Homo-oligomer: A and B are copies of this chain.
Amino acid sequence: MKLKRSPLAPNSFPQMPVVEGLKMWTAETGSKYKNRPDVYLVKFGKNARVAGVFTKSSAPGAPVDWSKKCLAAGATGGLLVNAGNANVFTGAAGVKGVSDLATMAAHTLSCAPSDIYVCSTGVVGEPLNTLPIRKALHGLKNTKICSWEMAARAISTTDTFPKGAFANANIDGTPIKICGIVKGSGMIMPDMATMLGFIYTDANIARDVLQTLLSEYCETSFNAITVDSDTSTSDTVLLISTAKAKHDEITALNDPYLLGFSKSLRAVMLDLAHQVIKDGEGVSKFITINVSGAKNARAAKTIAMSIANSPLVKTAIAGEDANWGRIVMAVGKSGVQVDRDRLAISFGPHLVAKNGLRADGYNENVMSKYMRGDSLEIHVDIGLGSGSFTVWTCDLTHGYIDINADYRS
């Protein structure tokens, strides 16, 4: 099945600068895809620092196990990604496959295999043939380094557009760059979606500070989006600092010079996360769901995710229906205790329900017009406290069924 470019795709890939200290290449094995790169190799450079966040799945793939070990050991050599085969549920051969890939990349980059992070995305349950990747890596280091757009293309599977984001920052007068690429959640037929994200900066920041920032911002970006409630076995986000910028190293979270950097990092991560939703299978609407007035932020996130994952809510939005009854249902099924008669629900600027019943002045025509937009906001106030949280999702359309069920026809 040929996938059409998402109607919510940006017009073009952003202009993104080189991050000093970083070298990266792409290659084409021809194994599964034609006329596009499917191997991505990165050398992080001397003094690099790496932070990482992985899938919460309790049955992750062998590459996730490998990269978790790299992170724990403080590996900083580089990264190898292959697209087309996720090397998941492949038993002992899969474990050996990851090790082989790391050895090949290490050979190319002249470091130890244990210094190489490995990410694989694609079909699940198929044995991974590493030979074409070995061939592709041969001599790769001597070729021209790749563009961000090519890198984004190399790691993608059935994404309908390459995804990148960039921001400037400033630490103690030194200009700083933050560049990120991401893939997902296009579906690799016949298997599951995977999100891979790689964010690079030249800022000189200690590893534990980077890890804290990454973990914290993931909760409100990559872990605050959902296409269909399903969780991949391979999700990985890495944040790599080359530490080439010429300011003093930042070693503490409360360093005031960190403020601007943190803000820019969060903006890049949020931009990338939103692009994943805008490429959700069958997407026709980008939906922001904000829950306020919960007892705490955790309760607000649980309720927001319950709304975002409800097939009834998502199909209603696909049908351009401001169906607040289904929102009430999703709040009620979240497991969080609420008071039905305190709920208030708005779609964009339009209040639709308040104090447990339809709002005075509710106007079906006004609502219908609002629902025809391709970016919608749903706000739910629980009326019990000050906890709030925002998540992002897309609607559930025939396109989703086409991509995920109909590929045999």
| A residues adjacent to B (C-beta < 8 A) | 55-60, 88-91, 93-94, 123-126, 187, 190-193, 228-233, 309-312, 315-316, 318-321, 323-326, 328-338, 340-341, 343, 353, 355-358, 395-398, 400-401, 404-409
Contact = CB atoms under 8 A, between A and B. Distances in A.
Contact of A405 (B193, B310, B318): B318
B89 A311 contact: no
Given A58-B334, A59-B343, A397-B405, A312 B230 contact: yes
B190 A323 contact: yes
A279 B330 CA distance: 22
B89 A356 contact: yes
Nearest to A188: B325
Contacts of A401: 315, 318, 396-398, 400-401
A62 to B, nearest CB: 9
So how many copies of this chain end up in the complex? 2
A312 B192 CA distance: 7
Given A310-B230, A340-B89, A353-B89, A405 B332 contact: no
Nearest to A355: B91
9 contacts: A91-B356, A91-B357, A191-B323, A192-B312, A231-B329, A231-B332, A233-B328, A316-B405, A318-B401
Given A125-B324, A231-B329, A231-B332, 17 more contacts: A58-B338, A59-B332, A60-B332, A89-B340, A89-B343, A89-B353, A90-B356, A91-B356, A94-B357, A123-B325, A124-B329, A190-B321, A229-B311, A230-B333, A315-B405, A395-B405, A397-B405
Contact of A357 (B89, B320, B353, B398): B89
A299 to B, nearest CB: 11
Contacts of A341: 91
Contact of A325 (B88, B324, B331, B405): B88
Nearest to A399: B401
A357 B88 CA distance: 9
The 5 A-B residue pairs with the shortest CB-CB distance, nearest first, are A124-B325, A59-B332, A57-B332, A231-B333, A319-B405
Most buried by B among A55, A123, A319, A326: A319
Contacts of A407: 319, 321
Contacts of A125: 324-325, 328, 353, 357-358
Contacts of A311: 228-230, 311, 396, 400, 404
Contacts of A405: 315-316, 318-319, 321, 395-397
Contact of A332 (B190, B193, B233, B335): B233
Contacts of A60: 332, 340
Contacts of A396: 311, 401, 405
A125 B321 CA distance: 14
A358 B126 CA distance: 8
A55 B335 CA distance: 11
A89 to B, nearest CB: 5
A123 B328 CA distance: 13
A106 B41 CA distance: 77
A102 to B, nearest CB: 20
A96 to B, nearest CB: 12
Contacts of A395: 405
Given A336-B58, A405-B318, A88 B231 contact: no
Most buried by B among A123, A191, A343: A191
A401 B312 CA distance: 9
Given A400-B311, A404-B312, A404-B315, A190 B230 contact: no
